[in-house]
């Protein structure tokens, strides 16, 4: 796997390319203590700025952790395309009615009474840096390349990885 570290606009483009198709991320909070708190979160939207919008209950453990320390990490994983992304940043908790009205849909009724639920909050994650692993091929091709390397000893490129400085 080759290494390609990216900065600024190029890093943001790579991050958006990979993250926009993955609708669920593992959100890690309480990063300064062990164990960290991890929970799967469905994103409402990933904005062109890179910010990710989520809904959450004000009474949740991750909201409590964010109130104490807003450092947050998101881990995106798409096993079918063998793309993985770990992004670090900060999260702000909001009660922004405009965002709630824009993004609330019927699926949210599984977690909230309605868009008027007093525990409904908007989490806005802003990325600062990360790391990506992108094979650019499907699992069968990747396995074939690995088998080739095993048999011949010759190195094959199975993708790229690198740091992202957003």
Summarised one tens digit per residue, pLDDT across range 92-146 is 999 999 999 999 999 999 999 999 999 999 999 999 999 999 876 555 545 554 4
Chain-wide mean pLDDT for the chain? 89
Q: How far apart are the first and last CA of the chain?
A: 22
Are 105 and 131 contacting, i.e. CB atoms less than 8 angstroms apart?
Answer: no
As a whole number of angstroms, the distance between CA 66 and CA 72 comes to 8
pTM of the model: 0.85
Residue boundaries of the structural domains of the chain: 2-165
> How long a stretch of residues is the chain?
166
Q: Using CB atoms within 10 A of its CB, is residue 127 exposed (0-12), middle (13-18) or buried (19+)?
A: buried
Q: Is 63 helix (H, G, I), strand (E, B) or coil?
A: helix
- The CATH superfamily label for domain 2-165 reads Electron Transport, Fmn-binding Protein; Chain A (2.30.110.10)
Closest CA to 158 of 82, 84, 75, 79: 82
Closest CA to 134 of 165, 166, 164: 164
The yes-or-no verdict on residue 153 having pLDDT over 70 is no
Q: What is the pLDDT of residue 135?
A: 78
Span 19-48, average pLDDT: 95
CA 162 to chain centre: 16
Q: Using CB atoms within 10 A of its CB, is residue 28 exposed (0-12), middle (13-18) or buried (19+)?
A: buried
Q: What is the pLDDT of residue 166?
A: 84
Could you tell me which residues come within 8 angstroms of residue 144 by beta carbon, excluding any fewer than 6 positions away?
none
Q: Is 108 helix (H, G, I), strand (E, B) or coil?
A: helix
∠ CA 130-131-133 to the nearest 5 degrees? 150
- Token output for 132: 């990506």
- pLDDT, tens only, 71-91: 999 999 988 777 899 999 999
How far is residue 149 from each of residues 68, 143, 157, 161, measured CA to CA in Å? Answer: 48, 10, 10, 19
């Amino acid at each position: 796997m080759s290494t390609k570290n990216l900065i600024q606009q190029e890093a943001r483009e790579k991050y958006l390319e990979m993250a926009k198709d993955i609708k669920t991320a593992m959100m890690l909070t309480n990063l300064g203590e062990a164990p960290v708190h991890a929970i799967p979160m469905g994103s409402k939207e990933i904005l062109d700025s890179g910010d990710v919008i989520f809904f959450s209950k004000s009474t949740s453990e991750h909201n409590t952790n964010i109130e104490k320390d807003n450092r947050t990490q998101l881990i995106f994983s798409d096993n079918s395309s063998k793309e993985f992304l770990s992004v670090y940043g900060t999260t702000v908790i909001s009660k922004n009615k405009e965002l709630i009205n824009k993004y609330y849909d019927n699926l949210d009724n599984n977690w909230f009474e309605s868009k008027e639920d007093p525990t409904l909050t908007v989490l806005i994650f802003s990325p600062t840096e990360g790391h990506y692993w992108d094979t650019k091929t499907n699992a069968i091709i990747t396995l074939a390349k690995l088998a080739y390397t095993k048999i011949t000893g010759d190195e094959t490129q199975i993708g790229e990885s690198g740091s992202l400085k957003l």
